[in-house]
């Protein structure tokens, strides 16, 4: 009897487009996961795969422009985040995500974090799109989601690459994909990435009412001047989350390692570079193909 294969797709914002390439590579080498678990962007791509909507998601990702990204954002400062996320929910439905977990093609788990108790929550029943939206609830950017009687935040706060969820669903050979694996190498230096500061801020400002833009610009930080400015709100938040999830992931994987680890080198992308999908997808495919020999030996 063949081993049951689990695929754990990690968080990483726009870097998570690489998961599409990973799934394309697995298809090329004739391996289909029996179980898929995803955190944050990994939940988006995993749910698309389980829904049979991966082609539609890839087409959408490759066609993204900064203008289309801005149209997807709905600023609401009273929602517990900068962005409420209703447009994203509609988008996922339009792309063909199945309405409920019971309708997907294989066992799938979306990982979120319980805001009150600070622990991971495995979402595997009920409304699929609502679960994915909860899993991408990056604190300070997206508003939390009320689901199953609790406020839920991004799953990366508790389990950035959900190997444990795959194992709990009976997977015997687990492939883990980490889009953030090389962000903090020593040779990288100590400079905070500034691209999130300008692109991220302008994306949010472009969706806000005109009368609120001066206040938001002052609050988020930055005036567009290039000479070593103070890091802006989104840059500080993004870097802080990257550091935190990196430390959580190291601890989790030390006690619960996968059978095959696919580490992605996407240092030239930020978590908000959603218009660079083609680059991320290509890298994800290449990184998975590089592990094909090891994986086939295990199977």
In a domain, 210, yes or no: no
In a domain, 110, yes or no: yes
**Residue 256 known to be catalytic:** no
In a domain, 198, yes or no: no
In a domain, 241, yes or no: no
First-to-last alpha carbon distance for the chain, in angstroms, is 10
**Residue 34 known to be catalytic:** no
* Region of residue 189 (phi > 0: left; psi between -120 and 50: alpha; otherwise: beta): left
Q: Which residues of 139-162 are buried (b: 16+ CB within 10 A; e: fewer)?
A: bbbbbbbebeebbbbbbbbbbbbb
CATH number at residue 38: 3.40.1090.10
Domain range for 138: 5-185+257-298
Is the CA virtual torsion 13, 17, 18, 24 positive or negative? positive
From residue 108, alpha-carbon distances to 8, 17, 62, 112, 138 in Å are: 10, 18, 25, 13, 21
CA atoms of 128 and 209, how far apart (whole Å): 31
Rounded to 5°, the CA angle 297-298-299 comes to 95
193 touches 268 (CB < 8 A): no
132 touches 97 (CB < 8 A): yes
Q: Which residues contact 36 (CB under 8 A, 6 or more apart)?
A: 6, 7, 9, 46, 49, 50, 106, 107, 108, 109
Catalytic residue among 11, 34, 135, 154: 154
242 touches 180 (CB < 8 A): yes
**pTM score:** 0.85
In a domain, 28, yes or no: yes
What is the pLDDT tens value at each position of the chain, 299 positions in all?
A: 788 999 999 999 999 999 999 999 999 999 999 999 999 999 999 999 999 999 999 999 999 998 888 888 888 777 887 888 899 999 999 999 999 999 999 999 999 999 999 899 999 999 999 999 999 998 888 999 998 889 999 999 999 999 999 999 999 999 999 998 766 554 444 444 444 444 455 555 555 656 566 666 665 555 555 556 677 777 777 788 888 888 888 889 888 999 999 999 998 888 889 999 999 999 999 999 999 999 988 88
Catalytic residue among 11, 34, 40, 135: 40
pLDDT at position 188, please?
Answer: 45
Burial class of residue 209 (count of CB atoms within 10 Å of its CB; 0-12, 13-18, 19+): exposed
In a domain, 211, yes or no: no
In a domain, 176, yes or no: yes
Question: Which two three-digit tokens encode residue 123?
Answer: 């979402």
Count how many domains the chain has: 1
Residue 200 phi, psi dihedral angles, 5° rounding: -65, -45
pLDDT at position 189, please?
Answer: 43
pLDDT at position 183, please?
Answer: 64
In a domain, 231, yes or no: no
């Amino acid at each position: 009897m063949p081993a049951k294969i689990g695929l754990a797709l990690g968080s990483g914002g726009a870097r998570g487009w690489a998961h599409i390439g990973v799934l394309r590579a697995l298809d090329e080498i004739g391996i289909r996961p029996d179980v898929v678990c995803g955190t944050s962007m990994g939940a988006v791509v995993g749910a698309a795969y389980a829904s049979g909507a991966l082609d539609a998601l890839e087409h959408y990702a490759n066609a993204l422009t900064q203008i289309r990204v801005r149209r997807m954002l709905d600023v609401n400062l009273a929602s517990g985040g900068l962005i409420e996320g209703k447009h994203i929910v509609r988008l996922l439905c339009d792309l063909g995500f199945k309405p409920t977990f019971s309708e997907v093609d294989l066992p799938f788990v979306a990982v979120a974090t319980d805001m009150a108790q600070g622990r991971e929550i495995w979402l595997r029943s009920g409304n699929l799109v609502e679960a994915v939206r909860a899993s991408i609830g990056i604190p300070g950017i997206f508003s939390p989601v009320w689901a199953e009687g609790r406020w839920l935040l991004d799953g990366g706060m508790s389990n950035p690459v959900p190997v444990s969820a795959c194992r709990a669903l009976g997977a015997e050979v687990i492939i883990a994909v980490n889009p953030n694996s090389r962000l903090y190498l020593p040779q990288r230096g100590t400079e905070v990435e500034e691209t999130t500061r300008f692109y991220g801020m302008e994306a949010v400002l472009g969706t806000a009412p005109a009368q609120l833009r001066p206040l938001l610009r002052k609050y988020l930080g930055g005036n567009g001047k290039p000479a070593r400015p103070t890091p802006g709100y989104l840059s500080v938040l993004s870097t802080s989350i990257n550091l935190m999830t990196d430390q959580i992931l190291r601890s989790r994987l030390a006690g619960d390692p996968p059978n095959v680890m696919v580490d992605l080198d996407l240092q030239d992308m930020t978590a908000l570079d959603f218009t660079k999908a083609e680059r991320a997808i290509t890298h994800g495919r290449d990184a998975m193909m590089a592990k094909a020999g090891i994986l086939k030996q295990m199977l």
